[in-house]
Amino acid sequence: MFIHCELVILILALTLDGQVHTGEIYGGHQAVPHSRPYMVLLEIFMQDGGRKHCGGFLLNEGFVMTAAHCQGRSYTALLGVHNVLNANDIQRVSVEKTFPHEDFNRSEPKKNDIMLLKLSSKVNFGKNVRPIALAGQGDGSLPKSCIVSGWGTMNTNNKYLSPVLMEVDVTLTDNELCLKEKLYCSEGERGPREGDGGGPLVCEDGRAYGMMSFIFIPHSGGPKVHAYTKIPDYKSWIDSTIDIALKSASTCHIYLKRES
């Protein structure tokens, strides 16, 4: 079967140890194919000519959400992916403009680690490509049972990244730092690893509550902590940023039409 040359390059990158940063989901299992149609694999081209990958998720036909620390020179969003070795029906859409949070701070604990990507064209919805709803403020209670997804290694003994989408169940905890810094947290070895940034934290009601940001070990000791940007605290920023992006695109279209 013929596979597009760009996809071949992506496949090779996914199998080279240490060359990509989609992350390492430990203690998980393979997702049911296309059961998470909102998942996006981002191919990121860096200023120095290098390349890395991050996770992301589809908000609507024109926008993807990911982590601000996944910034690069240019991007391609791959949608409808389960197994990257199967090119059938994968949609490849370039990113037209990026909107990282204006107060993003890369030092840990990362602050405001959230970014919106405006796609260059609208995606085609279908059974393998659909957006996910975002959690609102609700009653302030902490969701407990959640899932994180990504194209990472299956266990600590496997040095190669999985070509198929993996997922792992995590339980959120009341970590003091996370409560202070607009973050959700889970503890222990099970979960994503550094570099799996931008992947969604999806909880019981099927909504995206958080987004993988970083990992740390508390100064007081104890288990490893996975930190996720707390989406409900950024709903107004998300809505206003999308509104500004759409208005800007509309104004530009009107201007170009008049010029022509």
Domain end point (choices 119, 136, 160): 119
Residue 118 pLDDT > 80, yes or no? yes
- Domain around 59: 5-23+36-119
pTM comes to 0.84
| Selection from 214, 153, 146, 187 nearest residue 29 by Cα | 153
CA distance 72 to 9: 18
**Model pLDDT for residues 128-181, shown as the tens digit of each residue:** 999 999 998 876 678 878 999 987 655 455 455 668 898 999 999 988 888 888
Total domain count, the chain? 2
Residues 114, 149 within the same domain:
no
Residues 224, 153 within the same domain:
yes
* Residue whose entry in the numeric block shows the structure tokens 């390492």: 24
Residue 258 pLDDT > 50, yes or no? no
Residue 135: inside a domain: no
CATH number of the domain that residue 83 is part of: 2.40.10.10
